[in-house]
Amino acid sequence: MPLKASQLKVGDTREEVVLEHLTRTQLVMYAGASGDYNPVHTDEVFATKVAGYPTVFAHGMLSMGATGRMLTNWVGDGRLTKYGVRFVSQVWPGDQLTAKATVTALRREGSQHFADLDVITTNQNGQPVVTGYASARLDA
């Protein structure tokens, strides 16, 4: 259900666990679907022996995609007008991700209502992994 401007106020939040426990298989799924086959995400031998990482780690776009689930569950399908993030920390197998959005502004352009949102996704230690923003079209 799309959000209504009349039911929202600045400071309202929505929070959702979007990834319960990241598995290496999930990374394989993301590589296959997205076409990003960088072996640092799926190839333990390459990631550890060549690239020097402790193990494989998630594509940033997997974290952004999972975070998008919280956004579309809140604002409705096909309602986002903008969505952008910075990848601030890597996401590792076993991590749990919780995505949170906060209303920073409610605006009108003509008769169309919009909400601006602050977005942050944190791991199980409370460390931010993705930070960003989104905007969405609202019903009146």
Footprint of another protein (CB under 8 A): 2, 18-19, 26, 29-30, 32-40, 43, 45-46, 49-54, 59-62, 64-66, 68-69, 71-73, 76-78, 80-87
Rounded Cα gap, residues 43 and 28, in angstroms = 9
Q: What is the smallest separation between the CB atom of 98 and another protein, expressed in angstroms?
A: 13
Kindly report the backbone phi and psi dihedral angles of residue 40, in degrees, each rounded to the nearest multiple of 5, phi listed first: -65, -20
CA atoms within 13 A on the CB side of 4: 3
Task: Closer to another protein by CB, 1 or 9: give it.
Answer: 1
Q: What is the smallest separation between the CB atom of 129 and another protein, expressed in angstroms?
A: 12
Burial per residue of 54-67, b for 16 or more beta-carbon CB atoms within 10 angstroms, e otherwise: eebbbbbebbbebb
Q: What is the smallest separation between the CB atom of 88 and another protein, expressed in angstroms?
A: 9
Q: What is the smallest separation between the CB atom of 18 and another protein, expressed in angstroms?
A: 6
Task: Closer to another protein by CB, 9 or 25: give it.
Answer: 25
Task: Closer to another protein by CB, 9 or 125: give it.
Answer: 125
Give the position of tokens 């993301």.
30
136, 81 in Cβ contact below 8 A?
Answer: yes
